[in-house]
Amino acid sequence: MFHTSYIEVSKSALQANLQFLKELAGPDVRFCSVVKGNAYGHGIEHFIPLAEECGVDYFGVHSADEALRTHMVKRNSSHVMIMGMIEDEELDWAVENDISFYVFEFERLEAAVKAAKEQKKKARIHLELETGMNRIGFHWEDREKLVSYIKEHGEHLRVQGVSTHFAGAESIANYLRIQNQIANYNRYQWYLRKKGVRAEIRHTACSAPLVSYPQTKMDMVRIGIAQYGYWPSKETYMQYLTRDDVRHMTENPLRQIISWKTSIMSLKNVRAGDFIGYGTAYQATDDILIATVPVGYCHGFNRNLSNLGKVLVHGRRVPVVGMVNMNMLIVEVSHCPGVKRRDEVVLVGSQRDNRITVSSFSDMTNDVNYETLVRLPREIPRFIID
């Protein structure tokens, strides 16, 4: 395999997640699978064909390079939408290949018209509105100029969507801010409609608003973290559980679709009083057996998990001892009878009756699931399993 670890992606888990999320969105709401950040660490080249097999035909990416990777592996019928960065010189390629892209400033709008003229076909654009996040988007004060420009150049533009993004819908602390954003979006998009700028798709909701603010579902939802089996936050999950139709639910409807595995590289007996690894981070209090695992922080196993992390060996949770190195970590396996070199080590996933989740990484390092997942390098091989 020429790699020290590998990742498995479960088709059945993804199918279950998509079914649950589509039911949550409703029958008339289009589903956009967000695959930015290398499909949240799952691997664009592997995830796109898998998602298409599960019925997905609309993908959202952050940038032109992700759009290119998606375009190269997708089926012809699936659509790609760039929600972030694309250089002006890449717009010709996007227009030529019917890839839509967000427009959030007049310079990009002008560049889109130029590309459409050169390609002799309409640019498929999504107008991103500034509703209160203060990141990117057309301000309310831009409305008259925006309408005027689109009408003037309508023969070169196809307004495929009108969108916005909410500033932290996964936290109840942002409730009033989100409510204001919803009101601002509705006012802006109704103004555009009244002035004759009608988008094919209104879309504002990602994973958290889908659960917490159902009025934001509109024509399409852009689902990222939830399709991979993770709630945007514990608050979002609790809000879901308070619904009348799920109050008696005992099982999480979302299933983590990723597993990360490696094997034992070496075994060593260490005497009581000896230090393990770099420095004096860990000193053995008893005679113990340790196993070296060929995964480190260069592979996405956070260095902050030194002396904190857990992995699975022989179905047991065993502790990381000492510092996580660039390419290796060490675990204590004294309580794993018969352990030997090349035995499986599960970093994320299940083994026998035990499970290590991505959340267990995040909870111990104050990271979020998003951050832990996207740190998984592209070089780690991915395999699709049932």
Binding-site residues: 135, 326
Structure tokens that stand for 271 in this block = 């005497």
Q: Which of 36, 74, 122, 261 is catalytic?
A: 36
Verify whether residue 6 is a known catalytic residue.
Answer: no
Of 117, 110, 73, nearest in space to 95 by CA: 117
Rounded Cα distance between 240 and 127, Å, is: 30
Rounded Cα distance between 281 and 121, Å, is: 63
Q: Which of 151, 234, 278, 340 is catalytic?
A: 278
Rounded Cα distance between 50 and 111, Å, is: 34
Of 312, 262, 308, nearest in space to 281 by CA: 308
User: From the DSSP assignment, how many helices (H) and strands (E) are in the chain?
Assistant: 12, 18
Verify whether residue 11 is a known catalytic residue.
Answer: no
Rounded Cα distance between 123 and 114, Å, is: 9
For residues 261-291, one letter each, b for 16 or more C-beta atoms within 10 angstroms of the residue's C-beta and e for the rest, the string is: bbbbbeeeebeeeeebbeeeebebeeebebb
Q: Classify burial at 190, counting beta carbons within 10 Å of its beta carbon; exposed 0-12, middle 13-18, buried 19 or more.
A: exposed
| Cβ count near 312 (within 10 Å) | 22
Rounded Cα distance between 91 and 111, Å, is: 8
Rounded Cα distance between 257 and 141, Å, is: 44
Rounded Cα distance between 174 and 2, Å, is: 47
Binding-site residue positions for substrate:
135, 326
Catalytically active residues are 36, 278
